[in-house]
Amino acid sequence: MINCKYLRLIIGTVFFLILPPSLVTEKIEKVQIYSKAVAEETKKYSDRLTEENLQTQAQQLDEKAKEQLENGELETALEIWQQLLDIHTQQGDIAATRLRQRDSGTEFYSLKIGSTLYNMASIEWQLQQYQKALENYQQALEISQQLGDIEEVAAILDNISTVYSQLSQYPQALASLNKALKIRRQLRDTTAISSTLNKIGVIYDRQGKYPKAIEFYEEALEMAKREKDNVNFTAILSNLGLVNSRLGRYKEAIDFYQKILHNNPSNKAKFLTYIGAIYRHLEEFSKALKFYEQALEIYEENQDRLSIAITIDNIGIIYREQEKYSQALEYHQQALVIWEELGDREGKSASVHNIGIVYRESGQYSESLEFLTHTLIIDRQLENQNRERITLADIGKLLAKNERPELAIIFYKQSVNITEKIRKDLQVLPVEEQRDYLDGTVTEIYRDLANLLLEQKRAIESHQILDFLKVQEVFEYMGGIKADENKSNEVIMLKLENVFLEKYTNFLDNIGTTDEKNQNISLEKLVAIHDFIRSEEITEISSEIKNKAKSQRLSPEMLVLLQYELKKHKKENAVVLYPLILEDRLELILVTANSPPVHRTVLVNREEFDRILFAFRVGLIDRREVDNIFDSRVAKAGLKLYKWLIKPIENDLKINGVDTIIYAPDGKLRYIPLAALYDGEKWLAKRFKINNITAASIMDLSPRRNRNIRILAGALTEGNYSFAIGRKKFEFEGLPFAKVEVEKLASIFPQTKKLLGDDFSKQFMELRMGSHSLIHFATHSAFVNGSPEDSFILYGDGELASLREVEKWNLYGVELVVLSACETGKGKQLGDGSEILGFGYQMQVAGAAASLATLWQVDDRGTSEFMNNFYTALRSGKNKTRSIQKAQIAMINSEYSHPYYWAPFILIGNGF
CATH number at residue 665: 3.30.420
pLDDT band at residue 567, thresholds of 50, 70 and 90?
Answer: confident
User: Which pLDDT value is given to residue 477?
Assistant: 74
**Is residue 164 a part of any domain in this protein?**
no
d(CA 563, CA 584): 30
In the predicted structure, residue 480 carries a pLDDT above the cut 80: no
Judgement on whether residues 545 and 575 belong to the same structural domain of the protein: no
Query: Going by C-beta distance under 8 Å and a sequence separation of 6 or more, which residues neighbour residue 615?
Result: 633, 637
Judgement on whether residues 679 and 724 belong to the same structural domain of the protein: no
Query: Going by C-beta distance under 8 Å and a sequence separation of 6 or more, which residues neighbour residue 429?
Result: 168, 437
- What percent of the chain stands above pLDDT 70? 80
3-state SS assignment for residue 202 = helix
**Is residue 428 a part of any domain in this protein?**
yes
- Flag the least confident range among 291-295, 350-354, 546-550, 867-871: 546-550
d(CA 756, CA 741): 11
Judgement on whether residues 545 and 561 belong to the same structural domain of the protein: no
In the predicted structure, residue 44 carries a pLDDT above the cut 70: no
**Would residue 72 be called left, alpha or beta, if left means φ above 0 and alpha means ψ between -120 and 50 degrees?**
left
In the predicted structure, residue 2 carries a pLDDT above the cut 50: no
For residue 662, give the nearest of 688, 698, 685 by alpha carbon.
Answer: 688
- Averaged pLDDT, 735-740: 89
d(CA 824, CA 791): 9
**Is residue 468 a part of any domain in this protein?**
yes
Alpha helices in 656-753 (DSSP H): 736-748
Q: Which amino acid is at 162?
A: T
Judgement on whether residues 306 and 283 belong to the same structural domain of the protein: yes
Q: Which domain holds residue 377?
A: 266-384
Q: Kindly report the length of the chain.
A: 912
Q: Which residues pair with 854 in a beta bridge?
A: 905
In the predicted structure, residue 565 carries a pLDDT above the cut 50: yes
In the predicted structure, residue 9 carries a pLDDT above the cut 50: no
**Is residue 113 a part of any domain in this protein?**
no
Calculate helix-pair angle for 523-534, 365-381, nearest 10 degrees.
Answer: 110
- Averaged pLDDT, 779-790: 82
Judgement on whether residues 784 and 830 belong to the same structural domain of the protein: yes
Instruction: Specify the long-range contacts of residues 429-432, CB closer than 8 Å, at least 24 apart.
Output: 429/168, 430/168, 430/206, 430/207, 431/206, 431/207, 431/208, 431/479, 431/480, 432/205, 432/206, 432/242, 432/246, 432/479
**Is residue 90 a part of any domain in this protein?**
no
For residue 356, give the nearest of 403, 385, 393 by alpha carbon.
Answer: 393
- Asked whether the beta carbons of 203 and 174 are under 8 A apart, the reply is yes
More confident residue, 126 or 340: 340
Judgement on whether residues 620 and 649 belong to the same structural domain of the protein: yes
Number of separate domains in the chain: 5
Judgement on whether residues 317 and 456 belong to the same structural domain of the protein: no
pLDDT band at residue 501, thresholds of 50, 70 and 90?
Answer: very high
- Asked whether the beta carbons of 80 and 123 are under 8 A apart, the reply is no
d(CA 138, CA 173): 13
Q: Which amino acid is at 198?
A: N
- Averaged pLDDT, 753-761: 92
User: Which pLDDT value is given to residue 428?
Assistant: 37
**Is residue 640 a part of any domain in this protein?**
yes
User: Which pLDDT value is given to residue 486?
Assistant: 52
Judgement on whether residues 668 and 812 belong to the same structural domain of the protein: no
pLDDT digits (tens, 9 = 90+) for 824-840: 866 667 788 888 888 88
d(CA 550, CA 561): 21
Q: What is the CATH number of the domain that holds 313?
A: 1.25.40.10
The torsion of the CA quartet 861, 863, 866, 867, rounded to 10 degrees, works out to: -110
User: Which pLDDT value is given to residue 490?
Assistant: 82
User: Which pLDDT value is given to residue 547?
Assistant: 84
Query: Going by C-beta distance under 8 Å and a sequence separation of 6 or more, which residues neighbour residue 582?
Result: 447, 451, 606
Judgement on whether residues 504 and 561 belong to the same structural domain of the protein: no
3-state SS assignment for residue 61 = helix
Of 668, 695, 722, which residue sits at a domain end?
Answer: 695
pLDDT digits (tens, 9 = 90+) for 307-330: 999 999 999 999 999 999 999 999
- Asked whether the beta carbons of 163 and 175 are under 8 A apart, the reply is no
- Averaged pLDDT, 773-798: 88
DSSP code at position 487? S
Q: For 721, list phi and psi in degrees, rounded to 5.
A: -130, 125
Query: Going by C-beta distance under 8 Å and a sequence separation of 6 or more, which residues neighbour residue 768?
Result: 712, 753
pLDDT digits (tens, 9 = 90+) for 641-658: 999 999 999 999 999 999
For residue 477, give the nearest of 37, 36, 784 by alpha carbon.
Answer: 784
More confident residue, 106 or 408: 408
pLDDT digits (tens, 9 = 90+) for 577-618: 999 999 999 999 999 988 888 999 999 999 999 999 999 998
In the predicted structure, residue 413 carries a pLDDT above the cut 70: yes
3-state SS assignment for residue 851 = strand
| pLDDT, the chain, mean | 83
d(CA 556, CA 464): 8
Judgement on whether residues 617 and 733 belong to the same structural domain of the protein: no
3-state SS assignment for residue 625 = coil
Of 523, 549, 575, which residue sits at a domain end?
Answer: 549
**Is residue 96 a part of any domain in this protein?**
no
**Is residue 838 a part of any domain in this protein?**
yes
Judgement on whether residues 375 and 448 belong to the same structural domain of the protein: no
d(CA 259, CA 675): 51
d(CA 143, CA 274): 44
For residue 664, give the nearest of 578, 762, 779, 536 by alpha carbon.
Answer: 578
For residue 869, give the nearest of 883, 857, 855 by alpha carbon.
Answer: 883
Instruction: Specify the long-range contacts of residues 635-642, CB closer than 8 Å, at least 24 apart.
Output: 635/678, 637/612, 637/613, 638/676, 638/677, 638/678, 638/683, 638/899, 639/677, 639/678, 639/679, 639/680, 640/612, 640/616, 641/612, 641/613, 641/616, 641/672, 641/677, 642/677, 642/678, 642/679, 642/680, 642/684
In the predicted structure, residue 4 carries a pLDDT above the cut 80: no
Of 644, 670, 695, which residue sits at a domain end?
Answer: 695
Judgement on whether residues 638 and 782 belong to the same structural domain of the protein: no
Q: What is the CATH number of the domain that holds 727?
A: 3.40.50.1460
User: Which pLDDT value is given to residue 502?
Assistant: 95
For residue 407, give the nearest of 421, 395, 420 by alpha carbon.
Answer: 395
pLDDT digits (tens, 9 = 90+) for 134-170: 888 888 888 888 888 888 889 889 889 888 888 878 8
Query: Going by C-beta distance under 8 Å and a sequence separation of 6 or more, which residues neighbour residue 902?
Result: 675, 685, 862, 866, 887, 888, 891, 892, 896
Q: Which amino acid is at 394?
A: D
